[in-house]
Structure 1
Amino acid sequence: MALTDDLLAAYRAALRAVDGAVAVDRALRCRPVPGEAIAILAVGKAAAAMSRGALGVLGERVSRGLVVCPRGYAGDLDAENIRVLESSHPVPDASSVVAGEAATAFMAALRPGEHLLVLISGGTSSLLELPVAGVSVEALSALNGQLLAEGYDIATMNGVRKALSRIKGGRLGRWLDGRPATLLAISDVPGNALHVIGSGPLHPDPEPGRLPPELARRVRDLAGGRPNPAPKPNDPCLAGVESHVVADNDTALTAAARQLREAGYRVDCPGPFLTGEVGDVAGHLAGVLTGPSAGDAVLVWGGEPTVQLPDRPGRGGRMHALA
């Protein structure tokens, strides 16, 4: 049981290190946000926790806020000037559009001298949406469900979502219109690319439009061939945005490894970020664990495989399937 307890302690240490409140508190103390009036827009599974961290540091400087999180994720967030909207995850629905409309209105209403603090975490792509003209949220939801079942990775999924959205791929920046903003992100994607995290609401793709041919065809068919241009990375509407990743997979791995070393174990983090089809990833890990170089170290990995769902899928997520 000692090993099991130590592994669970390492897991809990990893979770604490990437806790939204902890990560934002740490970031804001290292890089203070300018201004005396700060408006908070937080979206994602960690939105409520990240907002709590911001409120703890900024206090009365927070003029107002909008928090968009999955149903049941708001926790004990209760501030008079913070509006909480619960939305849909992992597939968008009508509540995602309500949240998208609220977010654009929130940004359009920024007052002179008010600094926007944007807090982004995993789940943002589904929680916040405004489909392009002619595409219903029902059609968008159906396509998202199909892509999830077909096992596409997050970057490809988000590429499709951007092509059909009025707020993804930097398009939300049109409501910012060059005003100052600080974006803090908890990354759930390999490489921490800001245009991938949450489908990059304030970060256009460096090279947009590169979808696999079959997915590009499905996007064109759904959108009726209508173009959906995105801002360029140097667009003036995004000129006031400063962005930082405040926690990621490496943050969690480092904390887990530290906890294990303090408990007396030899630890190795072989890397890299685990991606690929779940069966292939499982085979790779099994080969390492049973191979001649395994030794007596505790091996720590992180990442997210893809899973192609059967006709009658069970319960659990991608890492559950890997285990």
Structure 2
Amino acid sequence: MDKRAFLSGLFDAAVSAADPMTALAQALPDKPKGRTVVVALGKGAAQLAAAFETLWQTPVEGVVVTRYGYAAPCRYLPVLEAAHPVPDAAGLAATDAVFRAVQGLSADDLVVALVCGGGSALLPAPPEGLTLEDEQALNRALLASGAPIGVMNAIRKHVSRIKGGRLAAAAAPAKVVSLVVSDVPGDDPAQVASGPTVPDAVTASDALGYIEARNIVLPERIMRHISSDASAAPVPNDAAFAGHEVKVIASARLSLEAAAARAEAQGIPAVILSDAIEGEAKDIGLMHAALAREVALRGRPFPAPVVLLSGGETTVTLRENPGRGGRNTAFLLSLAAGIEGLPGIAALAADTDGIDGSQDNAGAFADGCSLARLRAMGRDPGDFVKAQDPYGAFEALGDLFVPGPTGTNVNDFRAILVDPQS
């Protein structure tokens, strides 16, 4: 068996299950008496918008905001690009365009919000008294903190004019239908892109508690804002959200099930460990390695051959002057240490949007010989760990996985093939 081809095929199946055309076809709302306004937000927003235009079959208006390099042609909707994961001035302009798109609507009009991961950074909207630089500082601090996505979004939504349901409130009295591609553990739509059209019950007091509990250091101006009444976000039972609809149309769960079906069609049993795994990437890597070793050496808790599948969103707590890489390569470098000496184990970990962190790769391949190969090249694996440079390790090995932007985003995909007889 070509292990890499097998693992890549599972990734392809997972991504295909979140294909915008397939996901949207089952979730289209009824057409309104008035205008249809589409706001598509996130790293897969352009592909979602193009699919929606095709399925809707009549002209629409609105705007698309996506990451640089992720644009796709749309027939009616302008596509704006901005920076991710740290927002920029283009994102500010895009946020203004989104607000303009939902202004002046009536109760006969319909707003369709196509929301996927990445919207938090792509739509900076600092409240009065704060600046883009403040929001950039906030994002950098949160990304370096190692906090789970739910904690980061709880804080972000209290430092924004668009997050936490505020965009939906701005569209009143029009009905808002949010069609969400989930990239968050648990598939809470209020967490995807920090919920621009979906409020939640997390308060500013909760956000301050998260900041204190995790020792997140934020600029004093931001802390003062979160502590003020001005940071209060709309609550789910606010009358502004009456009659709105929210549907999760694609998720890690559905994608992992598709990957499992692909594996089993090729004669390899598959086990889905979880679609909602969170934690420090290096620790989750060691946990997966321990399970894979147990299967390889003792045939428990699952007999080999088997492919272990998991999803969710791990985190990386950054130290000063880190190297290159994202959470998937960090996971794999740790996994490689845990399975060293067992060539019957091979793994692929990748972000389903095609980008792991801020580099050009989605993730990488690793196996029980990865670290030995590094040493044979005269490279010390420990040096890459100390430098927080997992990208450099897999780049040296030629094992980066670079599929390019996929047009969707249902979080991380991990597949570990355990086949001691291979």
TM-score when normalising by structure 1: 0.92
Output the CA distance in 2 between the equivalents of 1:207 and 1:51. Answer: 30
The CA deviation at 1:54 is 0.5
Q: What is aligned with 2:11?
A: 11
- Which digits, 9 at most, give the CA deviation of each residue in 1:280-313, with x for residues without a partner? 1011101110113142121111122110123232
Q: Which residue, 69, 74, 78 being the options, matches 2:71?
A: 74
Structure 1 residues 295 and 312, CA gap change in structure 2 (3 angstroms): farther
Aligned-pair identity (%): 34
Output the CA distance in 2 between the equivalents of 1:92 and 1:4. Answer: 35
Q: 1:204-243 to 2 correspondence within 5 Å?
A: 204-209=199-204, 210-211=206-207, 212-214=210-212, 218=218, 221-222=221-222, 224-225=224-225, 226-227=228-229, 228-243=231-246
The CA deviation at 1:44 is 0.3
Output the CA distance in 2 between the equivalents of 1:168 and 1:139. Answer: 16
Output the CA distance in 2 between the equivalents of 1:112 and 1:306. Answer: 42
Structure 2 residue 249 is matched with structure 1 residue 246: yes
One-letter code of the match for 1:101? Answer: D
Output the CA distance in 2 between the equivalents of 1:316 and 1:266. Answer: 31
Q: 1:48-63 to 2 correspondence within 5 Å?
A: 48-60=46-58, 62-63=59-60
- Which digits, 9 at most, give the CA deviation of each residue in 1:159-201, with x for residues without a partner? 1211110111112223112321211000011111122111111
Gaps of 5+ in 1: none
TM-score when normalising by structure 2: 0.71
Output the CA distance in 2 between the equivalents of 1:89 and 1:270. Answer: 30
The CA deviation at 1:264 is 1.1
Output the CA distance in 2 between the equivalents of 1:63 and 1:54. Answer: 10
Q: 1:23-42 to 2 correspondence within 5 Å?
A: 23-28=23-28, 32-35=29-32, 37-42=35-40
- Which digits, 9 at most, give the CA deviation of each residue in 1:28-76, with x for residues without a partner? 3xxx43326421110000101111111111021x33120000111113x
Structure 2 residue 145 is matched with structure 1 residue 150: yes
Q: What is aligned with 2:41?
A: 43
Output the CA distance in 2 between the equivalents of 1:216 and 1:153. Answer: 12
Of the two, which has the highest radius of gyration? 2
Q: What is aligned with 1:22?
A: 22
One-letter code of the match for 2:25? Answer: D
The CA deviation at 1:218 is 3.6
One-letter code of the match for 1:59? Answer: Q
- Which digits, 9 at most, give the CA deviation of each residue in 1:97-135, with x for residues without a partner? 111111111111335633111100000111112111111
The answer (yes or no) to whether the contact 1:25–1:56 under 8 Å persists in 2 is: no
The answer (yes or no) to whether the contact 1:20–1:47 under 8 Å persists in 2 is: no
Structure 2 residue 119 is matched with structure 1 residue 124: yes
Which segment drifts farther, 304-313 or 65-74? Answer: 304-313
Output the CA distance in 1 between the equivalents of 2:217 and 2:265. Answer: 53
One-letter code of the match for 2:246? Answer: S
One-letter code of the match for 1:87? Answer: A
The answer (yes or no) to whether the contact 1:70–1:88 under 8 Å persists in 2 is: yes
SS at match of 1:300: strand
Q: 1:132-143 to 2 correspondence within 5 Å?
A: 132-143=127-138
SS at match of 1:85: strand
SS at match of 1:163: coil
SS at match of 1:269: strand
Q: What is aligned with 2:303?
A: 295
Q: What is aligned with 2:156?
A: 161
Output the CA distance in 2 between the equivalents of 1:114 and 1:309. Answer: 46
Output the CA distance in 2 between the equivalents of 1:252 and 1:313. Answer: 32
Q: What is aligned with 1:318?
A: 327
The answer (yes or no) to whether the contact 1:43–1:69 under 8 Å persists in 2 is: yes
The answer (yes or no) to whether the contact 2:125–2:162 under 8 Å persists in 1 is: yes
Root-mean-square deviation over aligned CA pairs = 2.0
The answer (yes or no) to whether the contact 2:37–2:61 under 8 Å persists in 1 is: yes
The answer (yes or no) to whether the contact 2:149–2:313 under 8 Å persists in 1 is: no
Structure 1 residues 44 and 8, CA gap change in structure 2 (3 angstroms): same
The answer (yes or no) to whether the contact 1:23–1:53 under 8 Å persists in 2 is: no
The alignment covers a number of residue pairs equal to 317
Output the CA distance in 2 between the equivalents of 1:217 and 1:279. Answer: 23
Q: What is aligned with 1:113?
A: 108
Output the CA distance in 1 between the equivalents of 2:220 and 2:158. Answer: 9
SS at match of 2:313: coil
The CA deviation at 1:213 is 4.5
The CA deviation at 1:216 is 8.4
SS at match of 2:274: coil
The answer (yes or no) to whether the contact 1:184–1:245 under 8 Å persists in 2 is: yes
SS at match of 1:256: helix
Output the CA distance in 2 between the equivalents of 1:306 and 1:20. Answer: 27
Output the CA distance in 2 between the equivalents of 1:300 and 1:318. Answer: 16
- Which digits, 9 at most, give the CA deviation of each residue in 1:243-292, with x for residues without a partner? 10000110110110010111111111122522101121011101110113
The answer (yes or no) to whether the contact 1:178–1:240 under 8 Å persists in 2 is: no
Q: What is aligned with 1:274?
A: 277
One-letter code of the match for 1:168? Answer: K
Output the CA distance in 1 between the equivalents of 2:17 and 2:216. Answer: 38
The answer (yes or no) to whether the contact 2:20–2:47 under 8 Å persists in 1 is: yes
One-letter code of the match for 1:151? Answer: G
Q: What is aligned with 1:261?
A: 264
One-letter code of the match for 1:74? Answer: A
